[in-house]
Amino acid sequence: MRSTRYTCGMRTTVLHDSLERVEADALIVHLFAGVSRPGGSTGSVDRALDGLIGDLASRGDLPTGVGDVTTLFVRGGIASPRVLVVGLGEAQRLDAEVVRRASAAAARRARDLGARTIATVAHGAGIGGLDAAQAARATVEGTRLGLYRYGGPDRGPDHGVEELRIVDIDAPRLEALRDGVRWGEATADGVELARDLVNRPPNVATPRHLAEVAEGLARDHGFGVTIGDRAWAETHGMGAFLAVAQGAGHEPRFVVLEHDPTRGQEPPLVLIGKGVTFDSGGVSIKARDGMAAMKSDMAGAAAVLGAMRTLGRLRSPRRVVALVPATENMLDAHAYRPADVVRAGNGVTIEIISTDAEGRLLLADALVYAQRLRPRAVVDLATLTGACVVALGRGTAAGRFTNDDTVAQRVDAAAAATHERVWPLPAWPEHLEDLQSDVADLKNSSGKPYGGACVAAAFLARFTAYPWVHIDMAGMALRDDTIGYQPKGATGFGVRMLVHWVTHG
């Protein structure tokens, strides 16, 4: 099987210089709300321009809401021909999320003006009060992710900008800035991989393709990798996973990807991503409207692979294993049916009520497989239920379920730090009552129009015997428009949260 690798055409450099002396196609400075006499790097550029920025600000001609951008075309005074002034909003509300949003807006404006090189500071460092590394990381993430454009099935992302230059006159701060850039670049690499995988058409992003991506990551970062085929899954008793794959045109793959700098000396953190590369609903076929978006039903798998790419680049010292059960959910004469009974890897029998409740069947066998790894904790991500979108809204938050409050609190903290928001929802024993079956240990769906996200989580809990968090990210995988550093199309949701959890939890 050939491996697939991805590289980014945009580079980031850190320069020890003053912003006004650096040559670039566009120079980006920032301004807080209510400031008429800018300080810091913006003040230095303002003085080089004979007070132009301050004059405009004092007259109210420079909007300073988060992400507001004003373009100034200058002749002399500085080395760059354009200055973009981006608003950071109120100084007391500054955080990394504000920096990401503002950086994205300014970078897109620079690209629209034809800029191939951008020079800026790490927004928020210095008088902004953010740690220099944190500011640099957020600036890089916002710029890279805000410039992301899908490059097509056979290429990486198209940023339209070749180089981002982070400039600082303060020599003692350079080491922290470089560290922040390293984290920002690695994180953006992972998110962009996840976005690319979800954006690719389903005839390209097949189970085999996900496996090839995993093999490429293994080669790039020294991961251990196992690619299980249908026969491999049969030897592991994965009857639930294989039931979904019965009607698939493309052969299923079960990916096991391991980053183990501890040489097996510590229990791993396990990441599981639902990998339904196209979900027709099977025999319980979906409605025509919106079916094309079902190529995104592998967004959980994409997030897990993206997180592994970032962790590999960062050389995380923690042992992490990624599991990606990947298959299509299609319908033909071999497809599984309502009323079938299938057996998961732990021997639990499942009566099929709906073949469109397939994601939980993949996850059930992945959760059972995780048990053999003796995990410290497991987090799974899945575009699992429309009910979660009804409960929390589209593009707002993912649902978070757990059987361990300590692990859940750490995941919550990671979600808050990265602004990949989750909201706690219950999976109580009462939810499992709706899955009682007369012919099996449980049903795969209640068939009822309420509590669907909670019932699905309660189903999954039956297959866990370790600390576990389930993230139902339905509604978070795709956007219909561009906002901040989230473009139209795939969002890459979950990568940054998972990386933060692994590295800080």
| Residue 273 contacts residue 302 (beta carbons within 8 Å) | yes
Of 471, 427, 473, which Cα lies nearest the Cα of 452? 427
Sign of the Cα torsion 472, 477, 480, 485 reads positive
Dihedral (C-alpha) 241, 353, 478, 275: value to the nearest 10 degrees? Answer: 0
Of 263, 270, 369, which Cα lies nearest the Cα of 321? 270
> What is the number of other CB atoms lying within 10 angstroms of the CB of residue 51?
15
> HEC states along 373-411?
CCCCEEEEEECCCHHHHHHHCCCCCEEEEECCHHHHHHH
Choose the catalytic residue: 108, 360, 443, 462.
Answer: 360
> What is the number of other CB atoms lying within 10 angstroms of the CB of residue 396?
12
Question: Is 286 considered catalytic here?
Answer: yes
Residue type, 115: A
Pairing of strands 489-490, 377-382: unpaired
- Tokens 């990441």 found at: 271
Map residue 310 onto helix, strand or coil.
Answer: helix
- What kind and span of H or E run contains 177? helix 174-199
Hey, what are 399's tokens? 């649902």
Question: Is 360 considered catalytic here?
Answer: yes
CA 146, CA 13: separation in Å to the nearest integer? 18
Hey, what are 19's tokens? 């912003």
Instruction: Please state the separation of Cα 378 from the chain's center in Å.
Output: 17
Choose the catalytic residue: 21, 286, 337, 421.
Answer: 286
Q: Which residues are 486's β-sheet partners?
A: 483
| Residue 73 contacts residue 39 (beta carbons within 8 Å) | no
Which residues are known catalytic residues? 286, 360
